[in-house]
Structures are given as structure tokens and as C-alpha cells.
Structure 1
């Protein structure tokens, strides 16, 4: 598809930047498509480019089919046993900003391997091999934070998640230290929502808001239950979650105070270990 799209563009006399602008497709996206480096190709983008290039009907259909197939080519396609029909990684790799509120556990993108393993063992719902598959998949998800163009991650974490006792206290200590380390990155903001905040806007539970670089791609919200995953795309509902996150942000500790708060928890828990 990469070669065909480039041939179509050149046959119409368009430079890449000009084609991107007229089709309403980000230039970086078009460049990635033409060099076969795109992580996810949207059918809408293919339609816009096909219209601009005056592609014949059979060529358009072939390109659309390739775009649909591209969604299966991400690393997560190897973990269908873990994600099932859950397309969260598919959206995470495209997101420019990820805002998350977690009330029970450390956000998955910020978990250490040991902590992640403890999370999946807790429910006793998985075999030994299944636990490892889930941990491996979670670590793969985290690689978006190590890209040269990582998304901005903004996490508000309830104090309860930081104080939850594990059988091995060193696992939680390692997890808290990891939060301190990763919080120094320019693209990661971490806030703790302390118990002293009292009743707050996030009492309905955890959620993730994903924003995308192209203005044509509206934000979406991801939530989950014990048996299902839900993507919220209705504009009014998404706005409701954005407002909730803003309230949580206001109620949570500022970043510097959060780091000090985490250090204090580590010190107090360390004293209790002896």
C-alpha cells in the first residue's frame, strides 16, 4: 500500500506536504504511511487521499482493505488472548495525551513487572502462564513512553493505591521508587489524590481519557469492569469525564508535593517492615 499511495500522489503531481494539507491528513501520518511505518492506518485517511488522488474504485477498495488489515498488525495482535476485542493499545499508540485516574492500583503504564504480576495473581483467575502473558502484554504497552515522540501521560492516583499492602513489601517499595523515577520525565505528570481530599468527583471509579494529535480525531474515554471494557465516544459523555478529571486534578496534590508524599509513604512503610 505504501508504494501504491506514493505512486498515486506523484501521478497527480502532489508534493507530500501539499497532499497532506489538501486531504486533511497530518504530514507525519502520510509520511509514515508511505514509508510503511504507520502503526495504525485510518480508513478515513485512506478515503481522503483516494479522493484527492482520484483513485479508481477498485484501487480505493484495495487500499481500504489494507487499512483495515493494518489494525491487526500491531504488536497487540499477538496478545489476542489477553486483550480480546479490547483495542486500548490500538488507541494508546496513536494518542498525543493520556489522562488517567486510578483509584485501586497503580496505572498499568506505570507498573513495574513485579507489581503487575502481583495485580494479576490477586484475582486468582489466571494460570501461571496466563499471568506471565498479561504481564508481558502490559510491559509492551509501556513502550509508548519510550518512543522518540511519546504521548503526554497525566496520572492522578488515589492514595489507596499507594498504601495497598502486598505480601512482599519490597514489591510496593520498588513500585513507589519507579513512580519517583518516571515522574522526572518531561512527558509524565503524576499527582496523588490524598484521603484528606474527602469526597471527590472520581468516586464512580477509574478511567482513561485519550486525546489525539489530529483535530479530526475526537477524544475518547476508556473504562472497564470485571467482565467488560467500554469505550465512550459520545461528545457530551467525554466532556463529562474531562470535567471530572479537571476536578480531580484540582483536588490532588501538585507534582512536587506528590513526590514528597510518595517518599513519606516509602519511609513510613519501611519503618513498619522491621
Structure 2
């Protein structure tokens, strides 16, 4: 998109690729690559190109978003990239996991989980934390998706990052539960996960306008993004059965509060 815009602006300015490159300076091959979408200029060169073709900041802004998207995707495994693109389109996100979902994790909670993952799989902790925090913006916009999360009761008690971190995370869940489009429900210990499943990483079902329902699942070491109706149907049936055994939002809220006050009683976030 930005490449095509550049080509149109360059031609309107009466410049060849070489002439534009000489103004920056960049090689003609680089300008050609940028126009084809195979190359993305850095912030400084993006602004110089924008000025040279009189784009009034439009091109620089477009490339800024492209670089941001690339950076965010690089912080996540390849199998999740389809999900990340679909997440921003979703009007409803349904979630199930045994930890707090990424979209509502506090920075401290996310850092504790990501730090442990980096020990095994590598990567930059702060880059991954920043990417996760930026994703959360979809829940705070003018028209956020409906976000319905089911958490295994273990998520309330397993200590991630220490009791202070847990207290902050559970407090955050309680605050978010006040929003009209965000709901948390707990699958209690005394109820079984459907289908004979004994554990699961994370499962998300996405409703998107004009598209098939999609599924994303991950276990920490692998995952998949699925759109084929026959594959999605299996996970939809699993989630529908799961909903039959979860606690109501109000009872779930009371349990989250109880876990915070009793299990993480020494925290400093009261």
C-alpha cells in the first residue's frame, strides 16, 4: 500500500527512481524495493522520502505503522502471526486458559511469564513485553470487541512473579470486569475440562465481520491458527461444553476477590 502510494507520488513529482534515490540518498534498487513493498525505510529515510515527493507526512506515517507491525510480529512465534492479524479485526474474542489472558495481563505479570519463556526459547524480554502491552489497546478503543474469558481456577492461585504481582493481576481483572464488554468466568477445580482434556495452554475463538469464525490455540512450544470450518467446529463444540460448567460472572468475581485476599494476602496492592 505504502509502496504504491510512493510510486504514484514520485511520478506526480516528475522523478525517476534514480532521481529520488539521489535526493535521499538511496540506491535505485532500494527505491524499487520500497515501491514493491519488499523494503521498508527507517524513520529518517521515510521522512526524507516523504518530503521529497511532497506527501505531507502521509508516507512517513504509513511506514511507521508497517515498522511497528513488523516489530510486533517479530516478538511472537511464526504460528501466531495469523492470529495477531485476525485479533484486530475481531468483534468478539472468547478465551480459555489456565493463566490470565495476554490481552489483560499487567506488565509485571506479562514480564514474569515472558522471562521464563525466554530462558527456554530465546528472544528479547522487553521487546516481547512491549508487544504484548501494545496489543491490549484493542480493548480500550472506542469500539472494543466483546472479550469473554474463561480461566481455570488454577490461574488465581499459581504464583506468577510473586504474590505482589499476583495481587496486582487479580486487582486488574476485577477492575476490567466492570467494563460492559469484558467478562471473566472461572472453571472451578471440582469441574472437569470437557472432552477428557487434562490440560490446555490457551484457546481463543474469534468472531470477525464477513469472515468465518477462527480459532487460535497454543501450548507454549507450538500452536496453530485455524479457519477451516470443519476444524473450527471441533473447538467451538469444546468451548460450548466448557461454558456449561463455569461459574457465573458474579460468583467468579467473588472467587477472584477471595483468592486475592486469602492466597495473596501479603501483597501491597490493596
- Give distance in 1, aligned partners of 2:220 and 2:255: 30
Aligned equivalent of 2:125: 131
Asked whether 1:174 is paired with 2:154, we answer no
- Look at both structures and tell me which one has the larger radius of gyration over its CA atoms: 2
CA contact (8 A) 1:76 1:137 kept: no
Cα drift, residue 167 of structure 1: 4.8
Are residues 136 and 251 of structure 1, via their aligned partners in 2, closer, same or farther at CA, if it must alter by over 3 Å? same
The answer for the alignment partner of 1:79 in structure 2 is 72
In the alignment, is the contact (CA less than 8 A) between 1:209 and 1:242 conserved in 2? yes
Show the counterpart of 2:206.
Answer: 210
In the comparison of the two structures, how many residue pairs are matched? 204
Compared CA separation, residues 223 and 248, structure 1 to 2 (3 A): same
For residues 219-261 of structure 1, the C-alpha deviation after alignment (integer angstroms, 9 at most, x for no partner) is 1101123433311222122112112111111111000000001
Structure 1's 74 and 208: CA in aligned 2 closer, same or farther, altered over 3 A? farther
Aligned ranges for residues 78-97 of structure 1 at < 5 Å?
A: 78-85=71-78, 86-87=80-81, 88-97=83-92
How far apart are 1:153 and its partner, in Å?
Answer: 0.5
Question: Does the aligned pair in 2 maintain the 1:102–1:207 contact within 8 Å?
Answer: yes
Moved over 4 A (4+): none
* Cα distance change on mapping 1:225 and 1:74 into 2, 3 Å: farther
Shift of 1:148: 0.6
Q: Secondary structure at the match of 1:266?
A: helix
Structure 1: 5+ residue runs without aligned partners? 5-68
Q: Is 1:161 matched with 2:155?
A: yes
- 1:248 is matched with 242
Corresponding residue for residue 64 of structure 1: none
Correspondent of 1:107 among 86, 101, 104? 101
Alignment match, 1:231: 225
Alpha-carbon distance change, 224 to 270 in structure 1, aligned in 2, over 3 angstroms: closer
* 1:98/1:151 contact within 8 Å kept: yes
Q: Name the TM-score, length of structure 1 as normaliser.
A: 0.67
SS in 2 for 1:227: coil
| Cα shift at 1:81 | 2.6
Q: Which runs of 5+ in 2 are unaligned?
A: 5-61
Would you say the 8 A contact 1:101–1:156 is kept in 2? yes
Superposition CA RMSD, Å: 2.7
1:188-207 mapped onto 2 (5 Å cutoff): 188-201=182-195, 203=198, 205=200, 206-207=202-203
Verify the 8 A CA contact 2:150 2:187 in the aligned structure 1.
yes
